[in-house]
Structure formats: structure tokens, C-alpha cells
Amino acid sequence: MDLPKRIELIEVCPRDGFQNVHDIIPFEGKVAIIKKLAEAGFKRLEVVSFVSPKAIPQMADAKEVVAAVRDTLKAHGVRTVALVPNAQGVETAVECGINELTYVISVSRSHNIANVRRTPEESMEQFKTLIQEYGHKIDFRLALATALGCPFGEEIRTERVAEMVQFGLDLGCKEISIADTVGMSNPKRTYDLMNALTAQFGADKFVMHLHDTRGLALANTLAAMQLGVHKFETAAGGLGGCPFAPGAAGNVATEDTLNMMHEMGIETGIDNDALHEAVLLLQQYVHAPIVSHLMSLYKTKPCV
Amino acid sequence: MDLPKRIELIEVCPRDGFQNVHDIIPFEGKVAIIKKLAEAGFKRLEVVSFVSPKAIPQMADAKEVVAAVRDTLKAHGVRTVALVPNAQGVETAVECGINELTYVISVSRSHNIANVRRTPEESMEQFKTLIQEYGHKIDFRLALATALGCPFGEEIRTERVAEMVQFGLDLGCKEISIADTVGMSNPKRTYDLMNALTAQFGADKFVMHLHDTRGLALANTLAAMQLGVHKFETAAGGLGGCPFAPGAAGNVATEDTLNMMHEMGIETGIDNDALHEAVLLLQQYVHAPIVSHLMSLYKTKPCV
């Protein structure tokens, strides 16, 4: 089994996780958790999204959170990532000194319209404009939502995903995030898509963003790794994705992914004990059970 | 990704699951669940263990359970499997008309002693005697516990596993179950062991028995499938393994495994809706949360 010797985990809980918890995590909780994650050794943290506080009240204090963690993150050599949906978000991010911006376009037309009330083509046009205007000030990354399955039943063609990857790379994005937005993929599907994409563009260009709705995220991770993909977005505590089904539809848990990597002898640069502390801290602020497998082991004695 | 076109799932919840639930499932519950599982299409069901009721009170009604389900299972063409630790168990099983017997030996010396108060060599001797005495009356299968990791830290050598496989095959076992008893394996370890074993003995000879303690059972399943392994023991509801950490250390859930297989286009012969009904029935009798991923989806609306 040919696997990368080293992989990068990009922690997205402060963005994808915090924005999906039912009860808003207080400012001091967000700051404490983000600082703890920085101590764990992540070199990139998706810390916030700069979005309308009416649409996503969980992110209303995004600017203040970034200001409060900036020095700690800098001291630990952590690059900050933020999600932005529009020019206003980009401007705020640039003001805040964010390092990289994630812009999301759904491969699925129906999902993109449901998500941002635009067709994918309109989003692509907007992304192009944003890069033309702000690309000299800040790095952009493109996230392709529903690349591994559309919740509205739309067929996702590999050729279309490849076209959108090409579009992002042509605009200067250094990497493209391939998202299984609602956890619909399976290892074969993940392998087939990533086989086509890595053959065309190289494995270095891709980050996987996998949700664990059906418990397949680690198997999907393994499938992508066998093709040399070595960057994965994960969320501490398995948060994220769907506030109404805690754990069921969240991101793959960082602690579960980290355990798999370390058990396979793959370097991550992440300290497991510090991550453990971050997850326990998270549990103090999230009023829903943390359902990652490793969390079960944290709470109970090892079972012999 | 080269995978088998068809796999067999051997349902072990009535044995490995029921004997590990804290509250004993009543006779009528066991019978109802086993019948429902037979309706779902499993062709082999591990229905009971014939063990001392003092040691495992959950199995005290094993004979009665087998008698109550016999006709239904026969009508559905289901072969019955039972676990036995000794000659008394074998005799009861033969009387009850069981089709196949599972005998467990731990590769780990310390685990075998903890489990059955014998060295592995003593267990091997006992197994040989049992086969000599009863092998003409009933089929035996050998399960190698801790083949993928020992909870007491003992090193498990591939050569030793291979020797024990050879021992079982030499005695006439048609298949050997390779167990990750406490869910310590990872996909690379599973791949490496099964790569060696399938190269030496062929993939047909093996059944995988994987626990999901750290959420890696489906990734381990995938790793074994890539080597052509096509028989897997799973438990409805993810029950089993450790009564003190529900869900954390159980067998990989049948419903999660089935979903992965079906999503990858692999035939199993199992009806997902009937299995779903069996899991819901199980939930009525097990006074602990069923934590399989598919169960989360059963209970909540699909998340878009």
C-alpha cells in the first residue's frame, strides 16, 4: 500500500464547525479553542468566515476573534485561512491580515443556487472578479462543493469537476479543495474522481474536504491517499456540516484522522495530546455530544 | 481500484453483540431479531455461543433460541454458526443442528490466557482434539483473535499468524477468521498482514472480523477488499466487543458496511430496508444508544 510519508491536516473546526453549532460559542471559547489548536501544531487554520451576521450569527464576532488570536497564531507559525462569499468579505479579511481565502463554488447547479443564490457560472464570474481585484493582496483557494455528490440528485460529471479545477488553477489558485459536502461519496467514487484529477493536475494541487455522514470519510481519505493526495481539511470533534444531526453529518474528526495517520506511521506535525486538550475544551462549549471515535476513547477507559 | 464484485456479510450480532450488551436481551427479543436478520438475506448467521451460563449469562438460553429460530432460518436458506470453547459446547451445538462452529484462538499469548486461561499452544491442541472427535459431524472454522493487534502490547508477528492459519487449514477448516479483536489495526497494517496471508493461502480462505474502536473498521475493510478478501463478519447496530463502551469498541456495524458496499456497486444479497428494520428492533431491546452512522441517519432526517 503506497501512501504519502507526510500529510498536512488543515483544521477547519473554527470555521466549518463553529458556524454549524446550534448554540453560538462565546467569544472567549472560540479564542481559547483556536489558541489550543495552534499549540497542537497545525500550520494552517481556517479560523472564521466573513459573512453576513444575519445569515450566520455564529460568525458575527469574526473580526474580533481573528484580532484576539493573531499574535498566538503568528508565534506558532500558523497561516490563517478564512472563507469569504463576496468582495465585502475579502476586504474585511485583507484588513484583518488573513493569509489565505477560501471561495466556494458548488459543482452542482442546484446546490450552488440553494447555497448562494447564483448559478455556478455566476459564482465563477464573481471569483474571477475577486481575484482580479484582490489577487495581488492575498492568496485565494477554490473549494468545489458537492464534487463528490449532490444532495439534490444532480449528476456530478468528472469532466465538469476537472474544468472547474482548471478554471481555479488558471486564475492562480495554488490548490483546489475537493469537497464531499454532505458525505455522499464512497471510497471507489473518491478514488475514481481523484485518480482522474491527480493524473491531469498532480496530487499537490488538491486538498480533500470530507464529511463523515455515513462513516466513510476515513475510507475516502485512505482512497485519496493511495493516489498521493496529502492535504486534508478536518475538524476537531467532527463538528460541522449540519447543525441538526450532531456527529452524523459533520466533518471527519481531526482526532480520528490523526490517529489513523500516526498509526500508519505517517507524519503530520500535530501533537496528539494537545489536540486531545482542544477537543475536551470544545466539549465545554458545544452543547451536543462530541461523537468522534477517539472522543469515545477519551471519555471511557481503554477497553481490553 | 480493484474490488470484489460480490462480498458475503456474515452477521454476528446475535452472538458477539448479544453476549456483550449489559442488559440481557429477553428470549423473545433475540428470536425476533434473528428472524428479522434472516429475512434481510444473510446466508450465514452466528446465532449463539454455547458457553457456561455462569461466565456469560447473556447466552444462557442459547439452545432455546436456536430451536425457536431453526425453521425460519432453514426456510430462508441461512446456515447457522455458533461459537464454542470446548467439547461440551460442540456436543450441544451438534444436538441443536448448528451448521458451522467457530473456535477462537488468540495469536497473542497473554490475550489467550486472559480469555480462556490456556496458552495458544494448549488451545491449538484442544482444537485438534475437537476436530478429530467431531470433525465428521460438523464444520469447524478457526478464528484468530488479536491477529491485528494485542491489547497487552504483545508483538503479533505475521509469520506466527501464517503458521496458525496453516494449522487451521491443515485440520480441514475451510476458512479462517482474522480478527481485530479490540480495533487496534489500521489500513496499512491490515493491508500488510492480509497481503502476506492472501499471497500464501488465497483470498478465499479468509473472513475479516473487524472492530470499530477507533473508527477505522471501514477503512480496514477497504484495505482487505483491495486484496480480494470478500467475506466479512459484521454486527447489526455495531454491537459487540465491549459492554462498557457502547459503540466505541463494538464490531463494525453491518448497516454501515452494507451501505459502503452498495454505494460502491458491490453485491451482498442483503436487503437494506429489512436490515434497517432489524436495527430498529434491536434498539427496542438494547438499553444503550445504537451509534452506527446509518442509525444516525435512520433517526434524523437526511441533512441537505
For chain A, say whether B212 makes contact (Cβ under 8 Å).
yes
How buried is A60 (Cβ within 10 angstroms: 0-12 exposed, 13-18 middle, 19+ buried)?
A: middle
Chain A from 59 to 118: CB within 8 A of any B CB: 114
pLDDT at A298: 66
Angle between helix A120-134 and A87-96 (nearest 10): 40
Read off the CATH number of the domain in which B137 is found: 3.20.20.70
Give the nearest chain B residue to A259 (CA atoms): B214
pLDDT tops 60 at residue B28: yes
Chain B nearest CA to A214, separation (Å): 5
CA distance B134 to chain A (A): 32
Cβ pair B148, B105 in contact under 8 A: no
The DSSP code sequence of B122-189 is: HHHHHHHHHHHHHTTTSEEEEEEETTT--TT-----HHHHHHHHHHHHHTT-S-EEEEETTS---HHH
Tell me how close the Cα of A185 comes to any Cα of chain B, in angstroms: 8
Q: Is residue A3 part of a domain?
A: no
Q: How confident is the model at residue B298 (pLDDT cuts 50, 70, 90)?
A: low
What angle is formed at CA B21 by the lines to CA B20 and CA B25, rounded to 5 degrees? 120
Residue B302, pLDDT > 60, answer no
Residue of B194, B234, B303 for testing the chain A interface, max A β-carbons within 10 Å: B303
Alpha helices in chain A (DSSP H): 27-40, 62-75, 87-96, 109-116, 120-134, 158-170, 187-201, 217-225, 254-263, 272-285, 293-299
Average pLDDT over chain B reads 92
Q: Which residues pair with B43 in a beta bridge?
A: none
Q: Give mean pLDDT, residues B18-47.
A: 94
Test A215 with B264 for CB contact under 8 angstroms. Answer: no
- Under a CB-based contact definition with an 8 Å cutoff, are residues A102 and A82 in contact? yes
| Upper half-sphere CA count for residue A87 (Cβ side, 13 Å) | 9
What's the pLDDT at B209?
97
Residue B111: per-residue pLDDT: 92
Per-residue model confidence (pLDDT) at position A291: 72
Alpha-carbon separation of residue B129 from A173, A279, B72, B126, B140 (angstroms): 68, 52, 33, 5, 12
Residue A295: what pLDDT? 75
Q: Supply the residues of A annotated as catalytic.
A: 242
**What integer pLDDT is reported at residue B23 of this predicted model?**
78
Amino acid A292 reads S
Q: How far apart are CA B165 and CA B171, in angstroms?
A: 10
Cβ within 8 Å, pair A248-B297: yes
DSSP symbol at A14 = I
Q: For B103-144, what is each residue's pLDDT tens digit?
A: 999 999 999 998 889 999 999 999 999 999 999 999 999 999
Residues in A touching B296 (Cβ below 8 Å): 245, 247-248
> What is the pLDDT confidence band of residue B67, given thresholds at 50, 70 and 90?
very high
What number is the average pLDDT over the span B212-241? 95
Q: Coil, helix or strand for B253?
A: strand
The region, left, alpha or beta by phi > 0 then psi within -120 to 50, assigned to residue B7 is: beta
B187–A222: do the CB atoms touch at under 8 Å? yes
Q: What is the mean pLDDT of residues B227-236?
A: 97
In a domain, B304, yes or no: no
Domain assignment present for residue B93? The answer is: yes
Segment B138-154 mean pLDDT: 95
For residue A303, the 8-state DSSP code is: P
**What is the pLDDT at residue B299?**
56
Query: Distance between CA atoms of B269 and B41, rounded to whole angstroms?
Result: 6
Q: What's the structural domain count of chain A? A: 1
Residues of chain A with pLDDT under 50: 242-248, 300-304
What's B19's DSSP letter?
G
At residue A275, what is the residue type? L
Per residue in A244-270, pLDDT tens?
Answer: 333 346 899 999 999 999 999 999 999
Interface of B with A in 240-299 (CB under 8 A): 241-242, 244-245, 247-249, 253, 256, 259-260, 263-265, 291-294, 296-297
pLDDT at B22: 78
Is residue A98 in some structural domain? yes
Between A18-32, B33-47, B251-265, the lowest mean confidence (pLDDT) is in A18-32
Whole-number pLDDT of residue A150:
92
> Do residues B240 and B20 lie in contact, with contact meaning Cβ atoms separated by under 8 Å?
yes
Residue range of the domain that includes A163: 8-299
Beta strand B79-83 pairing with B100-106 = parallel
Which residue of chain A comes nearest to B299, CA vs CA?
A245
**Would residue A131 count as lying in a domain?**
yes
Residue A231 grid cell: 492535504
| Percent of chain B predicted with pLDDT > 70 | 94
pLDDT beyond 80 at B282: yes
Query: Is B265 in Cβ contact with A191 (below 8 Å)?
Result: no
In a domain, B2, yes or no: no
Instruction: Check A244 against B301: CB less than 8 A apart.
Output: yes
DSSP 8-state assignment for residue A183: S
Kindly state whether residue A1 falls inside one of the protein's structural domains: no
**pLDDT confidence band for B20 (50 / 70 / 90):** confident
Cβ atoms of A296 and B289 within 8 Å: the answer is no
- By 3-state DSSP, what share of chain B in percent is helix, strand and coil, each rounded to 5? 50, 15, 35
The predicted-structure confidence for A59-85, as pLDDT tens digits, reads as follows 999 999 999 999 999 999 999 999 999
**Residues of chain B above pLDDT 90, percent:** 84
Exposure on the CB side of residue A179, measured as CA atoms within 13 A: 28
Taking CB atoms and an 8 Å limit, are A264 and B302 in contact across chains?
no
pLDDT at B290: 75
Surface-to-core class of residue A12, CB atoms within 10 Å of its CB (0-12 exposed, 13-18 middle, 19+ buried): buried
Best CA proximity match to A295, nearest among A238, A224, A211, A219 = A238
Q: Is B153 on the interface with A (CB under 8 A)?
A: no
Could A214 and B304 be called an inter-chain contact, meaning their C-beta atoms sit closer than 8 Å?
Answer: no
ipTM of model: 0.93
Q: Check A300 against B245: CB less than 8 A apart.
A: yes
Please give the pLDDT value at position A236. 95
Task: Give the mean model confidence (pLDDT) for residues B81-97.
Answer: 97
| Residues B167/B103, Cβ–Cβ less than 8 Å | no
B296 pLDDT above the threshold of 80: no
